[in-house]
Amino acid sequence: MHIRLINPNTTAGMTATIGEAAKRVAAPGTQTSASNPESGPVSIESHFDEAISAVGVLEEIMKGEREQVDAYIIACFGDPGLMAARELTRAPVIGIAEAAFHMATLISTRFSIVTTLGRTGIIAEHLLDNYGFSHHCRRVRAAEIPVLDLEDDSDAALVRIIDECKRARDEDNIGAIVLGCGGMADLTDTIAEAVGLPIVEGVTAAVKLSEALLGLGLGTSKHGDLAFPRSKTFTGSFAALSHQAFPLK
């Protein structure tokens, strides 16, 4: 099986981090690859960033369909473009926030999220509501670090994340912590050792869920709202997204 991880931002170093994290947990025989769009924001920290990045995610899905990819992971905690991506393929498409929430509830009755910026924490709260996990999450906490600090000032960023995780452990009455950024994919073991709680990270969680779905022979339903989009022409700068027939593979 071939699982493609899509980093919705354009920072190649973060894409590499995500790809390495996936390889570490993938089962023998599972091929993983990581990609990012050619155009879009260098980091995703707002609704605007997410809206722009979603187009790049969909372009990467369409490329993957031509390459016979078996499953996709959207490796940004906002899960940008998730439902639209599911429309484009029969393959499983998993967002890392949704994956992390599911995994956390399997090992604890309550969890907190530690993310980057306060404003992205609000976006995480919307996701908790949309996915039905709000009653499991005690608190969404922000380390108040820009996403690119995970690349450019990683040691200082790690200290702030660990400090916030310790506060969550001591104050929130929880059993687990969810890391709220794909750029934290390589920090799980270090944080878990420092904090002493189960740490759930969405990239690796999504890899294992993808393997499970493929092992069960399950893919995205093409009945109802996730059916392939109706054939139509797009104009102007989106002309390249015009489609006349699905599936692409």
pLDDT of 160: 95
DSSP string for 7-63 = -SS--HHHHHHHHHHHHHHSPTT-EEEEE--SSS-SS--SHHHHHHHHHHHHHHHHH
Average predicted confidence (pLDDT) for the chain: 95
Q: Are 62 and 88 in contact (CB under 8 A)?
A: yes
The pLDDT tens digits of the residues spanning 228-240 come to 999 899 999 888 8
What is the DSSP code (8-state) at residue 174? -
Domains and CATH numbers, the chain: 2-95+205-241 (3.40.50.12500), 97-202 (3.40.50.12500)
Ramachandran category for residue 247: left, alpha or beta (phi over 0 → left; psi -120 to 50 → alpha): beta
Side chain identity at residue 24, one-letter code = R
The pLDDT tens digits of the residues spanning 56-114 come to 999 999 999 999 999 999 999 999 999 999 999 999 999 999 999 999 999 999 999 99
Rounded Cα distance between 25 and 63, Å, is: 24
The pLDDT tens digits of the residues spanning 39-67 come to 999 999 999 999 999 999 999 999 999 99
